[in-house]
């Protein structure tokens, strides 16, 4: 049976006979034998095999072995005399599945820039950094499900095709319903292609929250974890047009409960990832950002800072830093302000609450002062906002007023209002931008490098 290289590196014992399959990272040919490092994607380090010239077919086979080739090696584990590795594999047989011409294979053994790797998106997962990112991404996804499942939350599947704009921000991609290039359509249909989902206006979802609220009103505690879409043409290192969001929603819960859950949630994910991907996290700390492990430790062991928006504005006004964007009560916090608060002032994850009603979505619960809402954003050093959440407006009359005040059509939200007509309860939830979390955990500076197939302006290759 083929063994995973990560298991052999961690637990393999001398004298065990094993078979491995993977891709060659390096080959070093000596006079009478060759060192071949094989990686199967299960760990950052490959397993070094020593292939002696007495291995059957050595002369012809070793010529075909080069960086990127796919191979199978069977043999016996032995203690390694080399530094930095406990064991190595003494090959008894070697098979090449597919060669990789060294003249043309783009991933030679050297550091490539992330920009270059984005141009070869179909090969970049074979590099140390990207493969480590995607293993951390996998571990964080597992942690998310485990966290909620342990607490009795139901994972609900909310739709991708949606008829309502949850955020009311007009950042939705229209679903055209059919391929205008392939299906014969009339001129009228072409003129109004936005109505082509069987006669209705539909969009790709910007958030599963409103549907999650429906489900929370039946199951108490639920969460979504799926792709969401934003048609914002912002070409930054923190925005994607398609990103994954995790959205818990809890009935009988207020903003304090929401913040407590978010804090426990983030601590849990960091702990889980440190335990399941120690080598990858060590790699990020050494090669990408030397504060990765310290940051993880800080998050796991310290309480997050909590301030109101009004207090945050006062802190920004008092700071000696010059900001590009104005700081003024009533204006939204820009990424530079968010980063200042988390990175320089509090030096930890920072929860900002009670934003002005005017700059937040219609569904957030209005405070008694009528000026602010029960919103909370969680800000991370180097990234800015990673979580946006709130206590929801559960009072029918106030909600109706807020929908109208934001210029939205009451009739379109009839079902959402029904939730307030029938068995309404205080409830709250939040949305975690999954890629921003992975960026924060790994220290990767561009969001395009923490998702296997980024969808952002300029880079749809596949």
Q: Which stretch binds ligand 4AD (CB under 6 A): 6-14, 112-120, 237-245, 332-340?
A: 237-245
Q: Which partner in ligand 4AD, Mg ion, none is near 243 (CB below 5 to 8 A by kind)?
A: ligand 4AD
Contact pick of 75, 381, 388, 443 for ligand 4AD (by CB under 6 A): 388
339 touching ligand 4AD, by CB under 6 A:
no
202 binds ligand 4AD (CB under 6 A): no
Nearer to ligand 4AD by Cβ, of 167 and 354: the residue is 167
What length is written for the chain? 462
List 40, 88, 211, 247, residue binding ligand 4AD (CB under 6 A):
247
Q: Helix (H, G, I), strand (E, B), or coil: what is residue 430?
A: strand
| Neighbouring C-beta atoms of residue 216, cutoff 10 Å | 28
Neighbours of 103 (CB within 10 A): 6
Does 46 help bind ligand 4AD (rule: CB under 6 A)?
A: no
Of 243, 304, 413, 416, the one binding ligand 4AD by CB under 6 A: 243
CB environment 275-288: b (16+ within 10 A), e (fewer):
ebbeebbebbbeeb
Report CA-CA distances (Å) from 452 to 123, 134, 148, 264, 427: 11, 7, 25, 28, 34
With binding defined as CB under 6 A, does residue 430 bind ligand 4AD?
A: yes
Contact between 166 and ligand 4AD per CB under 6 A: yes
Binding to ligand 4AD by residue 211, rule CB under 6 A?
no
Q: Which residue in 126, 436, 443, 444 binds ligand 4AD (CB under 6 A)?
A: 436
Work out whether 27 is an interface residue with ligand 4AD (CB under 6 A): no
Q: Which stretch binds ligand 4AD (CB under 6 A): 91-99, 196-204, 309-317, 387-395?
A: 387-395
Half-sphere exposure of 227 (CA within 13 A, CB side): 11
Stretch (H or E) spanning 389: strand 384-391
209 counts as binding ligand 4AD under rule CB under 6 A: yes
Nearer residue to Mg ion within complex by CB, 169 or 191: 169
Answer yes or no: are the C-beta atoms of 143 and 163 closer than 8 Å: no
Does 240 help bind ligand 4AD (rule: CB under 6 A)? yes
Q: Which of 429, 439, 442, 443 is close enough to bind ligand 4AD by CB under 6 A?
A: 429
DSSP helix/strand/coil, 460? coil
Which residue of 387, 403, 419, 438 would you call a contact of ligand 4AD, by CB under 6 A? 387
Q: Whole-number minimum distance, CB 61 to Mg ion, in Å?
A: 56
Q: What whole-number distance in Å separates Cα of residue 342 and Cα of residue 336?
A: 10
Structure tokens at 399: 């909600």
Q: Tell me how many degrees the CA angle 149-152-155 measures, rounded to the nearest 5.
A: 60
Nearest approach in angstroms of CB 239 to ligand 4AD is 4
CB of 248 closer than 8 Å to CB of 225: no
Question: Using the rule CB under 6 A, is 381 a contact of ligand 4AD?
Answer: no
Q: How many helical (H) and strand (E) elements, i.e. helices and strands, does the chain have?
A: 14, 15
Those residues with Cβ within 8 angstroms of residue 314's Cβ, 6 or more apart along the chain or in another chain: none
Which position's Cβ is nearest Mg ion? 388
Give me the least distance between CB of 377 and Mg ion, in Å please. 6
Cβ-based nearer residue to ligand 4AD, 126 or 392: 392
C-alpha 82/C-alpha 84 separation (Å) is: 7
The first and second tokens of residue 259, run together, are 């913040």
User: According to the binding rule CB under 6 A, does residue 245 interact with ligand 4AD?
Assistant: yes
DSSP 3-state of 79: strand
Contact residues toward ligand 4AD (CB under 6 A) are 166-167, 207, 209, 230, 232, 239-240, 243, 245, 247, 385-390, 429-431, 433, 435-436
């Amino acid at each position: 049976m083929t063994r995973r290289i990560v298991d052999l590196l961690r637990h393999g014992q001398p004298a065990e006979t094993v078979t491995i399959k993977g891709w060659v990272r390096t080959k070093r040919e000596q006079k009478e034998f060759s060192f071949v490092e094989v990686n199967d994607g299960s760990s950052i380090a490959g397993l070094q095999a020593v292939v002696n010239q007495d291995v059957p077919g050595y002369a012809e086979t070793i010529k075909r072995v080069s960086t990127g080739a796919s191979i199978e090696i069977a043999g016996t584990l032995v203690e390694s005399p080399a530094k930095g590795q406990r064991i190595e594999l003494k090959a008894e047989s070697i098979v090449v599945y597919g060669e990789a011409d060294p003249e043309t294979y783009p991933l030679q053994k050297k550091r490539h820039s992330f920009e270059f790797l984005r141009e070869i998106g179909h090969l970049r997962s074979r590099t140390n950094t990207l493969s480590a990112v995607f293993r951390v991404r996998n571990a964080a996804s597992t942690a998310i499900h485990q966290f909620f499942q342990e607490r009795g939350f139901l994972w609900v599947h909310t739709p991708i095709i949606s008829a309502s704009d949850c955020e009311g921000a007009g950042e939705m991609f229209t679903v055209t319903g059919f391929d205008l290039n392939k299906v014969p359509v009339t001129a009228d249909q072409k003129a109004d292609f936005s109505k082509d989902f069987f006669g209705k206006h539909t969009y790709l979802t910007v958030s599963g929250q409103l549907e999650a609220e429906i489900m929370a009103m039946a199951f108490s505690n639920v969460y979504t974890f799926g792709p969401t879409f934003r048609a914002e043409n912002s070409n930054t290192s923190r925005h994607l047009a398609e990103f994954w969001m995790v959205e818990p929603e809890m009935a009988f819960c207020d903003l304090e409960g929401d913040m407590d859950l978010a804090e426990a949630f983030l601590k849990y994910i960091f702990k889980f990832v440190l335990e399941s991907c120690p080598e990858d996290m060590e790699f990020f700390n050494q090669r990408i950002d030397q504060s990765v492990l310290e940051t993880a430790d800080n998050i796991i062991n310290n309480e997050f800072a909590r301030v109101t928006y009004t207090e945050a504005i006062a802190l920004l006004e008092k700071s000696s830093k010059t900001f590009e964007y104005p700081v003024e009560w009533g204006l939204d916090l820009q990424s530079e302000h968010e980063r200042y608060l988390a990175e320089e002032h509090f030096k930890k994850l920072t929860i900002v609450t009670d934003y002005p009603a005017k700059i937040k979505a219609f569904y957030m619960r209005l405070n008694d002062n009528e000026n602010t809402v029960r919103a909370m954003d969680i800000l991370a050093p180097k990234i800015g906002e990673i979580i946006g959440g709130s206590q929801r407006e559960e009072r029918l009359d106030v909600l109706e007023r807020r929908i109208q005040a934001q210029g939205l059509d009451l009739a379109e939200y009839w079902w959402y209002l029904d939730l307030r007509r029938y068995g309404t309860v205080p409830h709250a939830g939040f949305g975690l931008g999954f890629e921003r979390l992975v960026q924060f955990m790994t220290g990767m500076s561009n969001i395009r490098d923490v998702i296997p197939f980024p969808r952002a302006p300029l880079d749809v290759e596949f």
